[in-house]
Amino acid sequence: MYSKKLTVMPSETACTNEIKVRSLLNHFQDTASLSATGFEGSPGELARRGYAWILLRYQLEVNKRLPTMDESLVIETRYTMNDGLRVLRDFRVFAQACEAEALVSAKTSWVLTDLATERPVRASQHLSKLFCDLADGIHIDPEFTAVPRLSGSTLKDVPLLREVDLPVRFHDLDANGHVNNAVYFEWMYEATPLDLMGWGVRAVSAEFRAGTKFNETVRVGVKPVDPVIMNPVASDRDGRNHAFAYDMARVDDDRHSVARFCALWTPMN
């Protein structure tokens, strides 16, 4: 396990005084990169060797609350290779003042890709023995909360609540020239049909299906779903929770999703 200490800076904080989810996810990525640098090289070094990590799934749980401005935190991360081609990595965020229970937790699923062939390869055969050895004995649940398709049997007759077109901006791109995974979470926020001054995300399950690039436009469609999909006890709060499914596709190719999300939202107070 690797841990990193940090303080939530004002530039990372939303108008609710909580850390922006994009900023938090970027901290997760930085922590993962730092943890791996010693035995597989930095992301830049990995790319020079002809490989890159591709994100497949993301599950975020706000167990207590999002961290707030000036708060001192500890982020812990670990990974396992017990799931075939996929490498699973999880994260936990603790307040330094009270580290007994994680404020936020997340787990992710990745595949190592050969940049020349654009095909996935087994990390155990292409990365160092130390990388593989450090994953031994660690178990991360490989199951992720299912993300319903807007055109699937459950939702096909449910009308769209909202549809938003969002252009890919230059600063949305990562070093590989594709949209950074945290940006998709911003798109989810922008498309959510709630007054976000009074609502907070409490659980997100996402699956990533294709990359998006500069000057493309992504259309986000939103439909309501039963909150129980995201949390079996979510309906116990007098119907005050909302859950939505999101489908993200390029405007010029709306038959194929680039990402699908499902999120649970609860009142801030």
Give the separation between CA 143 and CA 46, rounded to whole angstroms.
28
CB atoms within 10 A of CB 68: 14
What per-residue confidence (pLDDT) applies to 253?
A: 82
Highest averaged pLDDT of the listed ranges 75-89, 131-145, 231-245: 75-89
Q: What is the DSSP string of the chain?
A: -EEEEEE--GGGB-TTSBBPHHHHHHHHHHHHHHHHHHHH--HHHHHHTTEEEEEEEEEEEESS---BTT-EEEEEEEEEEEETTEEEEEEEEEETTB-SS-SEEEEEEEEEEETTTTEEE-HHHHS-HHHHHTTTT------------TTSTTTTTSPPSEEEEEEPPGGGB-TTSSB-HHHHHHHHHHH--S-TTSEEEEEEEEEE-S---TT-EEEEEEEEE-GGGT-TTGGGSTT--EEEEEEEEETTEEEEEEEEEEEEEEE--
Class of domain 2-133: alpha beta
CB atoms within 10 A of CB 26: 15
Task: Give the predicted TM-score (pTM) of the model.
Answer: 0.90
All CATH 3.10.129.10 domain ranges in the chain, comma separated: 2-133, 162-267
What per-residue confidence (pLDDT) applies to 40?
A: 62
262 with 145: CB under 8 angstroms?
Answer: yes
Instruction: Give the chain's mean pLDDT.
Output: 88
109 pLDDT higher than 60 = yes
Identify the residue with better confidence: 134 or 234.
134
What per-residue confidence (pLDDT) applies to 238?
A: 55
**Structure confidence at residue 135 as a pLDDT band (50, 70, 90):** low
Encoded amino acid at 228, one letter: V
Instruction: For residues 97-118, give the mean pLDDT.
Output: 87
48 with 116: CB under 8 angstroms?
Answer: no
- Alpha-carbon torsion angle 115, 84, 92, 3, nearest 10: -60
Please compute Rg for the chain using Cα positions.
19
Burial grade of 53 (CB within 10 A; 0-12, 13-18, 19 or more):
buried
Give the separation between CA 267 and CA 269, rounded to whole angstroms.
5
Q: pLDDT digit string (tens) for 14-68?
A: 999 999 999 999 999 999 888 877 666 566 777 788 888 889 999 999 999 999 9
Class of domain 162-267: alpha beta
What per-residue confidence (pLDDT) applies to 242?
A: 92
Encoded amino acid at 60, one letter: L
Give the separation between CA 27 and CA 65, rounded to whole angstroms.
17
What per-residue confidence (pLDDT) applies to 13?
A: 95
